[in-house]
Amino acid sequence: MPVNTDLFNEYLYSLIPEYKYPEMYAGVIEYLSRGGKRFRPVLLFLSYASIKGYYHDILKYGAIIELFHNFTLIHDDIEDGSELRRGKPTLHKQYGVPLALNTGDALYTLVLRMVNEIEDYHVREQYLLTFQEVVEGQSLDIFWRERQIFPSEKDYMRMISKKTGALIGLSMYLGAYLAGIRDERYKQLGVDLGIAFQIQDDVLNLISPPEYGKKWADDITEGKRTIMVIKALENLPESSAAKLRKILDSKTDDETMKREAIDLIEQGGGMSYAKDLLRNLFDSIDSRMEQLFPANDSIYRKELFDLIEKMKVREK
């Protein structure tokens, strides 16, 4: 049968000691239960099951990834000043910054304890190196905005390969590794999938309606240095580029100004460039998927390929 996310969710919730500290962990349970695609652990399970034919013996490895991911979301929302997450108020808006920070820290310490219990040194090291990369990527993203720096495309790619790509790369790599295959190509495949996921997320943030689950175009308010912004700044006349930089650095929530920024991004070819980049990334990913997961009659291989296809056309 396909990956059962309900079963995984039950396992995930069982790891949270709400009964001991309801003041802190009740918010975590609610946060985790808001939905979300469980994209990263599902990739881990499918990478593993496409080779082994089952996945129920590796739930804890997926739980570590999902709990760490949610820890980063809690802290990222505070750092970005975000108001909505999955269609509801962010944890710091709901409970205040101090409690949200502490809740994120509690999740992280739970994750570290689970990692420490893993016997395989290589797996432990992969988790810790990946966690470090994610934090480094977030640091670059914040640093550029706070110092009003607009990075090059190369620097941007390095940032998202860490911030978003590293954890998805780990998911693909660990699935194969735990199934008996130690091959860095699985990791790079996942990293590139993460890069595509982030670029797609950046595009959707500017074009999706409110039911997307976040405030419309809040990447403009947060001054995010996306690939669309970087490419538009390269192509726009200096007067228009200066206007776009000014709007992004102003952290405005004014809808007229946000619309003006989006128009400038489109005029500079940023949106079309991002969509072309996505097509090329997915073409490369498709080719490597066929190599690393050779055709067989596994339902899990089919589900893995279907998941990638759905990702290409997602609207939120």
Q: Per-residue pLDDT tens for 229-256?
A: 999 999 999 999 999 999 999 999 999 9
Neighbours of 210 (CB within 10 A): 10
Residues 6 or more apart in contact with residue 45 via CB below 8 angstroms:
3, 8, 55, 58, 62, 175, 300
pTM, entire model: 0.94
CA 226/CA 270 separation, integer angstroms: 9
**Of 10-14, 185-189, 210-214, 221-225, minimum mean pLDDT range:** 210-214
Residue with the bigger pLDDT between 95 and 154: it is: 154
Residue 89 three-state SS? strand
User: Is 70 exceeded by the pLDDT of residue 1?
Assistant: no
Higher pLDDT, 89 or 269: 269
* pLDDT for 32: 85
Arithmetic mean of pLDDT over the chain: 92
- The SS3 of residue 225 is coil
Which residues are CB-contacts of 65 (< 8 A; sequence separation ≥ 6)?
Answer: 40, 41, 44, 167, 170, 171
What pLDDT score was predicted for residue 20?
73
**pLDDT class of 204 with cuts at 50, 70, 90:** very high
The encoded tokens of residue 14 equal 């069982």
pLDDT value at residue 309: 94
pLDDT for 243 equals 97
Can you tell me the distance from the alpha carbon of 86 to that of 68, in angstroms, rounded to the nearest whole number?
A: 17
Higher-pLDDT residue of 31 and 158 is 158
- The answer, yes or no, to whether residue 222 has pLDDT greater than 60, is yes
Question: By percentage, how much of the chain surpasses pLDDT 70?
Answer: 97
Confidence check: pLDDT of 211 > 60: no
Cα separation, 236 vs 264, whole angstroms: 8
CA–centroid distance for 256 within its chain: 29
pLDDT of residue 212 exceeding 60: no
Q: What is the CA radius of gyration of the chain?
A: 20
Q: What share of the chain is helix, strand, coil (3-state, %, to 5)?
A: 75, 0, 25
User: Residues 27-35: contacts with CB within 8 Å, 24+ apart?
Assistant: 27/91, 27/94, 27/95, 27/99, 27/100, 27/103, 28/70, 28/103, 28/106, 28/107, 31/70, 31/74, 31/85, 31/91, 32/70, 33/9, 34/85, 34/86, 34/87, 34/88, 35/86
The predicted structure's pLDDT at residue 214: 61
CA atoms within 13 A on the CB side of 31: 30
In degrees, rounded to 5, the angle at the alpha carbon of residue 184 between the alpha carbons of residues 5 and 200 is: 55
User: Residue 23: is it exposed, middle or buried by C-beta count within 10 angstroms (0-12/13-18/19+)?
Assistant: exposed
Q: Is the dihedral of CA 17, 19, 23, 25 positive or negative?
A: positive
Task: Find out whether 281 and 196 touch, Cβ atoms under 8 Å.
Answer: yes
Judge whether residue 140 has pLDDT over 70: yes
Residue 225 binned pLDDT confidence (cut-offs 50, 70, 90)? very high
As given in the structure block, the two tokens for residue 194 are 């993460």
Q: 3-state DSSP call for residue 18?
A: coil
Domains, the chain, in order of start with CATH, read: 5-292 (1.10.600.10)
